[in-house]
């Protein structure tokens, strides 16, 4: 990353003393070449540990590196109707995929969870899922004598025991349910359906997958070269196609081919301190006041659930250093977790020289009346630099996966609101990846709602 002082908005600051203070305050947003190299090395080491057959070695890694037990990508000859359920953010989704010789017709509906459901007993969440399934079935007039295959995208850290069986390790993101860890999400779902007295059509819950696996599956439906599914939403994670010989944890006799779909579950990368060399004060502060301090280090450095708060923390630092908002700010600036990633993506939508979107955010945060022209530029630069760092971190980890895949052409399917709405994330990721994997022709593409659609596609692939 170029020196902070090179940024055009920083160069426009008139006072040399102020410029110096700004550069000092923002210096830790730089993700240097050395950070990139070191992170790739550490990631590779952690993969080795996570992959080890020796349990003591495995404990040295915070990566789950789970076999998904999904036997194949989408082949293009699947038929039938399947349901996908997608739980991972407050936006629970039900997806119907109707396949005719591999051509999919998809219907998606959203059923938001309330704060009470997110912090009460886990059964409330699963009752909501069962109730939403029934609403969907009724509204879509689905009828069937035969059980409809269901794939369940459940995007929390779990240990995967088979295609269907998995055990929740901990809730993450906005979920703070009073129970759940140690339990199997598919069983919780089946119990909730039973509590309802069943659904109006029979269903067969076939698989629990992660949203990354769903995205990879949906990505492979759209693009046969897709070998990575990436989530850049509230949280982050990736699933990719690994050579079986590189995945030591699975007995090759259990494998269905020489390739295996691996759910990296990379959010917790760094929880053991291996990323301390590049963590900055902003990441540490976001973590300290988050739902689960000391966990999900990697995800917290760029996940959408955290980026708004990080932006706020950066602006508070500049304010306290006396170089922004006349050193004063507003109550809204000082309120933790009030800023969301939407504020980040909105500011980023301003092109150089324009400030309409930034002003709308400053207005929401009661900062518009005190913001000078230089303040507006500084807010934009801080947002740019923080976003660039975030995108570079993701690209660094992706480069390691691309090296593992080691194919001349690879497409990366991406789902999640951060990637979808951030106008520069794609560009920053592409720029760094081109440097890190120059011999791979890669393509990053949006797979909207891929995580839920992919769950239904898993059910289809496993049924065919
Ligand atoms: C969190 C979850 C992970 C999920 C990711 C993206 O990191 O633990 O399972 O894939 O968020 O939603």
Strands across the sheet containing 226-232 = 66-67, 259-263, 236-243, 226-232, 409-415, 441-446
| Active-site residue list | 173, 211
277 part of a folded domain: no
Which residues does 281 contact at the CB level (< 8 Å), separation at least 6?
Answer: 28, 317
Q: Which two tokens stand for residue 139?
A: 């509204």
CB 347 within 8 A of CB 381: no
| Residue 88 Cβ contacting ligand 1 at under 6 Å | yes
180 part of a folded domain: yes
Instruction: List the beta bridge partners of residue 99.
Output: 80, 104
CB 228 within 8 A of CB 218: no
Instruction: Tell me the pairing of strands 203-209 and 148-154.
Output: parallel
272 part of a folded domain: no
The whole-number pLDDT of residue 330 equals 97
Reference 152, options 220, 98, 100, 204; nearest CA is 204
36 part of a folded domain: no
Q: Which atom of ligand 1 lies closest to the CA of 268? A: 7
Q: What ranges make up the beta strands (E) of 354-394?
A: none
457 part of a folded domain: yes
Q: At what angle do helices 304-320 and 341-348 cross, to 10 degrees?
A: 70
Query: How many angstroms separate the CA atoms of 455 and 462, rounded?
Result: 11
Q: What ranges make up the beta strands (E) of 326-424?
A: 409-415
178 part of a folded domain: yes
Closest C-alpha to ligand 1, atom 4: 155
| pTM assigned to the model | 0.94
Most ligand 1 atoms within 8 A of CB, residue of 66, 156, 229 to mutate:
156
Most ligand 1 atoms within 8 A of CB, residue of 170, 173, 417 to mutate:
173
Query: How many angstroms separate the CA atoms of 64 and 68, rounded?
Result: 11
Query: How many angstroms separate the CA atoms of 87 and 91, rounded?
Result: 7
**How many domains would you assign to the chain?**
1
Residues of the chain with pLDDT under 70: none
329 part of a folded domain: no
The whole-number pLDDT of residue 462 equals 94
| 427-430-432-435 Cα dihedral, nearest 10 degrees | -140
Q: Which atom of ligand 1 lies closest to the CA of 234? A: 12
| Residue 341 Cβ contacting ligand 1 at under 6 Å | no
CB 41 within 8 A of CB 110: no
**Three-state DSSP class for 105?**
strand
Query: How many angstroms separate the CA atoms of 169 and 62, rounded?
Result: 12
The whole-number pLDDT of residue 173 equals 81
Residue 270, phi-psi category: left (phi > 0), alpha (psi -120 to 50), beta (remainder): left
Query: How many angstroms separate the CA atoms of 255 and 260, rounded?
Result: 8
Which CATH number goes with the domain that contains 190?
A: 3.30.420.40
pLDDT per residue over 368-396, tens digit each? 999 999 999 999 999 999 999 999 999 99
Domain that holds residue 91: 74-215+449-463
The whole-number pLDDT of residue 464 equals 82
Closest C-alpha to ligand 1, atom 11: 235
**29-61 as b/e: b if 16+ CB within 10 A:** bbbeeebbebbbebbeebbebbbbeeeeebeeb
């Amino acid at each position: 990353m170029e020196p902070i002082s090179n940024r055009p908005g920083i160069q426009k600051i008139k006072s040399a003393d102020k410029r110096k203070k700004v550069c000092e305050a923002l210096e830790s947003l730089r993700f240097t070449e050395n950070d990139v190299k070191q992170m790739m090395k550490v990631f590779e080491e952690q993969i080795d540990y996570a992959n080890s057959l020796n349990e003591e070695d495995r404990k040295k890694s915070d990566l789950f590196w789970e076999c998904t037990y999904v036997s194949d990508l989408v082949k293009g000859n699947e038929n039938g109707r399947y349901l996908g359920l997608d739980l991972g953010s407050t936006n629970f989704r039900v997806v119907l995929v109707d396949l005719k010789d591999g051509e999919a017709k998809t219907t998606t509906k959203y059923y938001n969870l309330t704060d009470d459901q997110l912090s009460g007993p886990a059964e409330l969440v699963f009752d909501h899922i069962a109730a939403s399934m029934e609403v969907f079935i009724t509204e879509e007039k689905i009828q069937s004598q035969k059980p409809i295959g269901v794939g369940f995208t459940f995007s929390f850290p779990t240990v995967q025991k088979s295609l269907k069986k998995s055990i929740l390790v901990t809730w993450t993101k906005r979920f703070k349910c009073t129970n759940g860890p140690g339990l199997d999400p598919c069983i919780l779902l089946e119990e909730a359906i039973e509590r309802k007295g069943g659904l109006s059509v029979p269903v067969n819950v076939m698989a629990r997958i992660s949203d990354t696996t769903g995205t990879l599956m949906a990505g492979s439906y759209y693009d046969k070269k897709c070998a990575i599914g990436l989530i850049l939403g509230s949280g982050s994670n990736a699933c990719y196609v690994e050579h079986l010989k590189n995945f030591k944890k699975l007995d090759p006799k259990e494998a269905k081919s020489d390739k295996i779909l691996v759910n990296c579950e990379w959010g917790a990368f760094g929880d053991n301190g291996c990323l301390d060399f590049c963590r900055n004060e902003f990441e540490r502060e976001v973590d300290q006041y988050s739902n689960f301090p000391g966990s999900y280090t990697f995800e917290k450095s760029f996940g959408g659930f955290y980026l708004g708060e990080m932006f706020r923390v950066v602006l508070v630092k500049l304010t306290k250093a006396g170089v922004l908002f006349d050193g004063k700010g507003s109550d809204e600036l000082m309120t933790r977790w009030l800023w969301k990633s939407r504020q980040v993506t909105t500011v980023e939508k301003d092109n150089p020289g324009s400030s309409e979107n930034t002003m709308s955010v400053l207005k929401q945060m009661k900062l518009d009346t005190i913001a000078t022209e230089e303040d507006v530029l500084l807010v934009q630069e801080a947002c740019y630099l923080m976003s660039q760092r975030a995108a570079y971190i993701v690209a660094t980890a992706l480069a390691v996966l691309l090296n593992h895949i080691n194919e001349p052409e690879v497409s990366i399917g991406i789902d999640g609101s951060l990637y979808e709405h951030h106008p520069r994330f794609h560009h920053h990721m592409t720029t760094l990846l081109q440097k890190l994997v120059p011999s791979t022709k890669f393509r990053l593409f949006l797979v909207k709602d891929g995580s839920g659609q992919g769950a239904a596609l898993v059910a289809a692939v496993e049924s065919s």
